[in-house]
A and B are shown apart, each in its own frame.
Chain A
Amino acid sequence: MGYSQFLNMIPEALLVLALIIVFFADFCLHKSERKVGVLGKLTAALLLCQTIMLTTVAPAEAFGGMYVASQAAQVMKLILTFGTFIVVVMAEPWLENEARKYAGEFHLLVLSTLLGMYIMMSSGSFLLFFLGLETASVPMACLVAFDKWKKKSAEAAAKYVLVATFSSGVMLYGISFIYAATGTLYFGDVANAMSDRYMFSPLQLMGLVFFFSGLAFKLSLVPFHFWTADTYEGAPTPITGYLSVCSKGAAAFAALVILAKAFGPMIDYWEYMLYVVIVLSITIANLFAIRQSELKRFMAFSSISQAGYIMLAVIGGSQTGMTSLMYYVLVYIVANMAVFTVISTVEQNNNGATQMNAYDGLYQTNPKLAFLMTLALFSLAGIPPFAGMFSKFFVFMAAAEQGSFWAYFVVFVALVNTVVSLYYYLLIVKAMYIKQTDSPLPAFKTDVNTRVALALCTAGIALFGICSCVYNYLFAASAF
């Protein structure tokens, strides 16, 4: 073994480099007036370079299969880097207003969570996966607590830390069972050790269940979702967006890879587990979302149900499923980030208003913002010609490909729930367009960062569906 093996980890290496650059830039700029702007643009530029670079990176392996970056993993890194780029761009007005002093920390923490996600997705062993997961979780807790002088933010962070610790513990417990049952932590070897036997030992089953429960905490699937609403509500809005798209996307990708690779022989067991969890997540989250009047809480429940839809793609464990998952995450990133950008802008310009009734009559005063919000909500609800309908249809296809009665049943439940979700997304549209109010939010001008983020998201919402090249590119890259 030589240090040259590190050269195989190009995306991670470059991200570490970016981290160092941002760190020194922060160091040099600590007295500058324009610190927030410069740092934001620097980080955004680095992430953009990273995104472009990732289109060319080939699959790689290092450390005897500990690090396995498949083509799919590299593309997924690209998608998440793109998502992080949007987060960094849209976060700038918030940083400028509320956390000027800590701009450096913000960017460093965002980059290190991204690094954790990279490692999670390109791990070939439970050990590295766990390290990646922790690298992603711990800085995330700091980010959630970023508005630390606000009680809600601190409370959210406390909840997040407790849940993250607990779920890590559960997951480690599961991993130790797996190690005990199979004598290895490498995904491929675990699968081989299992397929030797006809029946699975209780130890292996316990390992699967505990590991999956730990992962479900991260994905905020029902019944492991209790932290979500409070954390999403209390965290600063850009971080809520980051938490809901990137963190979730990485965990979903890892879930598919590990379930298909390491637990492949146990597919009959985890499929039923998934059916139950998906049906519960989508249904319960939708029913709770209807009752919310705080927009960030509302989006928290919406994101729980969206996680259920993402997991539909995992059911088959096939290449179609992998493609649909990556595609869904990509579309979800643009649509959800558009919503969070609007929420954040409205919050910044109106003394922290995140209640739904603050949006009454928004179309009269800020027509463009309301229109973009509508497009994003339609995309989340799965209305064509926006990308959301394509991604929903494709995860349904991936799940139905499996062919069993229960798969169709789960798809059916998910479909009925799209109608429920349409109802609550339309509630916001109704507030913006139809509700009459004497005092709508005053008209305000959005700044350039918000505009860039919204323009990118809207372009994604409009084009990712109709331009099939995106899907075809992902399909070609989704061998895993």
Chain B
Amino acid sequence: MSILTLFVVIPALMLLGLWLAKSLNQVRGVMVAGASCLLALSVWLTIYFVQQRAAGNTAEMLLTYSVPWFKPLNIAYSVGVDGISVVMLLLSSIIVFTGTFASWQLKPLTKEYFLWFTLLSTGVYGFFICTDMFTMFMFYEVALIPMYLLIGVWGSGNKEYAAMKLTLMLMGGSALLIIGILGIYYFSGATTMNVNEIAAMHNIPVATQKVFFPFIFIGFGVLGALFPFHTWSPDGHASAPTAVSMLHAGVLMKLGGYGCFRVAMYLLPDAANELAWIFLILTTISVVYGAFSACVQTDLKYINAYSSVSHCGLVLFALLMMTKTSCTGAILQMLSHGLMTALFFALIGMIYGRTHTRDIRYLDGLMKIMPFLAVGYVVAGLANLGLPGFSGFIAEMSIFVGSFENPDTFHRVATIIACTSIVVTAVYILRVVGKILYGEVKNPHYLELTDATWDERVAVICLIACVAGLGLFPLWASNVISDAVGPILANII
């Protein structure tokens, strides 16, 4: 039994614990204990992984384990991690941990809320540890459906519409995925659903690859906010409760990028080469369009959601550039955007919990009233616009340098267009920061508001530490990642 299975077993035990919990304190106890275990496990995993690599263990996947599940159909429960999954697991654990604290005060139906929340995280963890297409897909769907209830029951605003739209669009994406998975399985002639083994066989005819590549890429791309399939994201994020927005923008959208890279590009490399230009155009639109849309929104969550569209578009954009630097940058961007956006959504949730509005036209002078949250917001904003010293800078730098390594005009023009988003990002971030944090307090009610409570401080400080940590010491992460990107890219080029 591989130790990776613990990533699924612990949430399963948490579900059981929550089911049995009688009081609010027990529910919180189970959540904190479980989330801490998961965090400790993923920190240990990261350290172990770095050590193994340093010791010269060059296997593509570590901690692999495989046991037949549905034998007649060649479906197995097989797990294994490379550098990309390790950092994604770490990211998930951080977000789940901080998300628990960010929803500390949540009412009503706290127990049910955490049940679905934990089920969602089970799916996320399972997706990142698995290397079998069916099992990956199963966990992928496990991560999607709790969103419906989480947004529908505990959300705000136009929640029923947003929840239904999000669920149906994402499920539409996964319908495309099934076709793609079946196509890959049958046309590769494989007797396994293991991603690495199918990639090693490398025997799907190019014409067939070109048929199934769009299915898988769009299927995962829907979750990665690929233009024009991103429309669920602003509505969904705006209506979701705080911790769900954090988990969704922070981790779930990364499932899309991860899947595009690990399944679509890895298994259908020739098609990826030939069809990349179509998707490059779409992702360039995502990047720029998301940034410009964020400029004109007045709801804090909408601003952040469009900013996510832009940043997640950048992830797919960088992956399709297919140089080692750009792909490493893409994974770094997933990590960095996950942390930053979680921080943003946490802060927005906390501000909303006090002021009961997210409309920037009615918010002002928060720096005087709740300095801790306001400073947090400035930090998140600066990280988001790519200030050196924070994680965003490293990621975007790698992406644009890597993209420009492509010698041809098309790629370079696309890179230059995408680069403009950096400037636009600064515009919408600074506009919001200036408007809501500084200036006079015009609404007298705001003067009575209090600053962050201890549970909120835990969440915010953790996330800021991670964002700054990744920005100041990026080398270990980029080493771990580029190490894993290598074999996948070698298959493509």
A-to-B contact residues, CB < 8 Å: 320, 323, 378, 383-385, 389, 393-394, 396-397, 400-401, 403, 408, 411-412, 415-416, 418-419, 422-423, 426, 429-430, 433-434, 468, 471-472, 475
Q: Are B134 and A393 in contact (CB under 8 A)?
A: yes
Closest Cβ neighbor of A421 among chain B residues: B171
Tell yes or no: B72 within 8 A of A by CB: yes
Bound-state Cα–Cα, A412 to B164, Å: 22
Bound-state Cα–Cα, A468 to B77, Å: 11
Q: With A384-B142, A412-B179 known to touch, is A429 a contact of B148 (CB < 8 Å)? A: yes
Q: Are B152 and A433 in contact (CB under 8 A)?
A: yes
Q: With A411-B182, A416-B172, A468-B70 known to touch, is A433 a contact of B149 (CB < 8 Å)? A: yes
Q: With A389-B138, A433-B153, A434-B160 known to touch, is A320 a contact of B186 (CB < 8 Å)? A: no
Q: Are B138 and A422 in contact (CB under 8 A)?
A: no
Tell yes or no: B73 within 8 A of A by CB: yes
Q: Are A418 and B73 in contact (CB under 8 A)?
A: no
Chain B residue numbers with a CB within 8 Å of A389 are 138, 141
Tell yes or no: B80 within 8 A of A by CB: no
Chain B residue numbers with a CB within 8 Å of A422 are 167-168, 171
Q: With A383-B141, A426-B167 known to touch, is A434 a contact of B73 (CB < 8 Å)? A: no
Which listed residue (A408, A434, A475) contacts B183, Cβ 8 A?
A408
Q: With A416-B175, A422-B171, A434-B160 known to touch, is A472 a contact of B71 (CB < 8 Å)? A: yes
Bound-state Cα–Cα, A475 to B71, Å: 10
Q: Are B186 and A400 in contact (CB under 8 A)?
A: yes
Q: Are B72 and A472 in contact (CB under 8 A)?
A: yes
Tell yes or no: B69 within 8 A of A by CB: yes
Contact with A along B296-340 (1 / 0, CB 8 A): 000000000000000000000000000000000000000000000
Q: Are A396 and B182 in contact (CB under 8 A)?
A: yes
Top 4 closest pairs, chain A to chain B, by CB:
A415-B175, A400-B182, A475-B72, A384-B138
Q: Interface on chain B toward A: helix, strand, loop, or mixed SS? A: helix
Contact with A along B173-197 (1 / 0, CB 8 A): 0011011001101100000000000
Q: Are A383 and B145 in contact (CB under 8 A)?
A: yes
Q: Interface on chain A toward B: helix, strand, loop, or mixed SS? A: helix
Closest Cβ neighbor of B122 among chain A residues: A385
Residues 144-171 of B at the A interface (beta carbon under 8 Å): 145, 148-149, 152-153, 159-160, 164, 167-168, 171
Chain B residue numbers with a CB within 8 Å of A471 are 70, 72
Bound-state Cα–Cα, A403 to B70, Å: 21
Q: With A389-B141, A471-B70 known to touch, is A401 a contact of B175 (CB < 8 Å)? A: no
Bound-state Cα–Cα, A385 to B175, Å: 16
Closest Cβ neighbor of A465 among chain B residues: B138
Q: List 18 A-B contacts (CB under 8 A).
A: A320-B73, A323-B72, A378-B145, A384-B138, A384-B142, A385-B142, A389-B138, A393-B178, A394-B70, A400-B186, A401-B186, A418-B171, A422-B168, A422-B171, A423-B168, A434-B152, A468-B75, A471-B72
Bound-state Cα–Cα, A90 to B267, Å: 49
Chain A residue numbers with a CB within 8 Å of B171 are 418-419, 422
Q: Are A397 and B175 in contact (CB under 8 A)?
A: no
Closest Cβ neighbor of B170 among chain A residues: A419
Bound-state Cα–Cα, A323 to B75, Å: 15
Chain B residue numbers with a CB within 8 Å of A416 are 172, 175
Closest Cβ neighbor of A472 among chain B residues: B71
Closest Cβ neighbor of A427 among chain B residues: B164
Bound-state Cα–Cα, A426 to B161, Å: 12
Chain B residue numbers with a CB within 8 Å of A323 are 72
Q: Are A419 and B72 in contact (CB under 8 A)?
A: no
Bound-state Cα–Cα, A245 to B244, Å: 38
Q: With A393-B134, A434-B152 known to touch, is A403 a contact of B182 (CB < 8 Å)? A: no
Chain B contributes a number of interface residues (CB within 8 A of A) equal to: 32
B-to-A contact residues, CB < 8 Å: 69-73, 75, 134, 137-139, 141-142, 145, 148-149, 152-153, 159-160, 164, 167-168, 171-172, 175-176, 178-179, 182-183, 185-186
Q: Are B179 and A411 in contact (CB under 8 A)?
A: yes
Smallest beta-carbon distance B265→chain A, Å: 22
Q: Are B145 and A468 in contact (CB under 8 A)?
A: no
Q: Are A397 and B73 in contact (CB under 8 A)?
A: yes
Chain A residue numbers with a CB within 8 Å of B139 are 384
Bound-state Cα–Cα, A171 to B176, Å: 38
Q: With A320-B72, A320-B73, A434-B152 known to touch, is A415 a contact of B168 (CB < 8 Å)? A: no
Closest Cβ neighbor of B69 among chain A residues: A468
Q: Are B141 and A396 in contact (CB under 8 A)?
A: no
Closest Cβ neighbor of A400 among chain B residues: B182
Q: Are B175 and A418 in contact (CB under 8 A)?
A: yes
Q: Are B172 and A430 in contact (CB under 8 A)?
A: no
Q: A384-B139, A408-B182 are in contact. List 16 more A-B contacts (CB 8 A).
A: A320-B72, A320-B73, A323-B72, A389-B141, A396-B182, A401-B186, A411-B178, A415-B178, A416-B175, A419-B171, A426-B164, A426-B167, A429-B148, A468-B75, A471-B72, A475-B72
Bound-state Cα–Cα, A423 to B179, Å: 20
Smallest beta-carbon distance A363→chain B, Å: 9
Smallest beta-carbon distance A23→chain B, Å: 43
Bound-state Cα–Cα, A433 to B160, Å: 11
Chain B residue numbers with a CB within 8 Å of A468 are 69-71, 75
Bound-state Cα–Cα, A381 to B182, Å: 19
Q: Are B179 and A408 in contact (CB under 8 A)?
A: yes
Smallest beta-carbon distance B403→chain A, Å: 34
Smallest beta-carbon distance A479→chain B, Å: 12
Chain A residue numbers with a CB within 8 Å of B172 are 416, 419
Q: Are A423 and B164 in contact (CB under 8 A)?
A: yes
Which listed residue (B72, B142, B152) contacts A430, Cβ 8 A?
B152
Q: Are B71 and A419 in contact (CB under 8 A)?
A: no
Closest Cβ neighbor of B182 among chain A residues: A400
Smallest beta-carbon distance B217→chain A, Å: 16
Smallest beta-carbon distance B124→chain A, Å: 13
Bound-state Cα–Cα, A419 to B73, Å: 25
Bound-state Cα–Cα, A200 to B75, Å: 40
Bound-state Cα–Cα, A154 to B149, Å: 40
Chain A residue numbers with a CB within 8 Å of B70 are 394, 468, 471-472
Smallest beta-carbon distance B231→chain A, Å: 15
Chain B residue numbers with a CB within 8 Å of A412 are 179
Smallest beta-carbon distance A255→chain B, Å: 22
Bound-state Cα–Cα, A434 to B154, Å: 9
Bound-state Cα–Cα, A434 to B112, Å: 13
Chain B residue numbers with a CB within 8 Å of A419 are 168, 171-172, 175
Q: Are A385 and B138 in contact (CB under 8 A)?
A: yes
Closest Cβ neighbor of A422 among chain B residues: B171
Smallest beta-carbon distance A225→chain B, Å: 24
Bound-state Cα–Cα, A470 to B185, Å: 23
Bound-state Cα–Cα, A394 to B171, Å: 18
Q: Are B160 and A415 in contact (CB under 8 A)?
A: no
Closest Cβ neighbor of B68 among chain A residues: A468
Closest Cβ neighbor of A420 among chain B residues: B168
Smallest beta-carbon distance A230→chain B, Å: 30
Chain B residue numbers with a CB within 8 Å of A394 are 70, 73
Bound-state Cα–Cα, A415 to B148, Å: 19
Q: Which of B139, B159, B171 has the most CB of A within 10 A?
A: B171
Q: Which of B71, B149, B175, B185 has the most CB of A within 10 A?
A: B175
Closest Cβ neighbor of A414 among chain B residues: B175
Q: Are A384 and B149 in contact (CB under 8 A)?
A: no
Q: Are B152 and A396 in contact (CB under 8 A)?
A: no
Smallest beta-carbon distance B13→chain A, Å: 15
Bound-state Cα–Cα, A394 to B159, Å: 34
